Amino acid sequence: MPRSLRLPLSLLAFVGLTFATGCSDPCDTYCETTADYIEFCLASGSQPEWQNASDWSTWAATDKDDYVASCQADLVIQLDGAQSGAAISRGCEDDANRYLELTERGLCADLP
């Protein structure tokens, strides 16, 4: 293959792969990061909202793993009906970053 075609074809393959994988990575990260945040705040949150949310049942889950699985399943359903998975992916990434930052700072803000 001529050298001049390698770069454009490589870039095209990368873009195709990016679209084929969809939202799974940012949204999976969102679910896992949010679960970490919830777990931290259930143990140490002092605000009334966190004191009232005494266990995972607030999120219709039995434990952290159940929450992550339910979150991921919900996002799959949203993506199936979405016109643009990119917007959902950006939302997942933004919220995951926010909850990660709160957890790293040891802060419990609103309930997700």
**Overall domain count for the chain:** 1
The pTM (predicted TM-score) of the whole model is: 0.74
In a domain, 11, yes or no: no
In a domain, 86, yes or no: yes
69: domain range?
A: 23-105
**Given its phi and psi angles, is residue 35 left (phi above 0), alpha (psi -120 to 50 degrees) or beta?**
alpha
- How confident is the prediction for the chain on average, in pLDDT? 81
> What does the pLDDT look like over 45-74, one tens digit per residue?
999 999 999 899 999 999 999 999 999 999
**Given its phi and psi angles, is residue 71 left (phi above 0), alpha (psi -120 to 50 degrees) or beta?**
alpha
Band (pLDDT 50/70/90 cuts) for residue 19 is: very low
10 Å CB burial of residue 30 (0-12, 13-18, 19+) is buried
In a domain, 15, yes or no: no
The two three-digit tokens of residue 75, written as one number: 């996002």
In a domain, 66, yes or no: yes
In a domain, 51, yes or no: yes
In a domain, 46, yes or no: yes
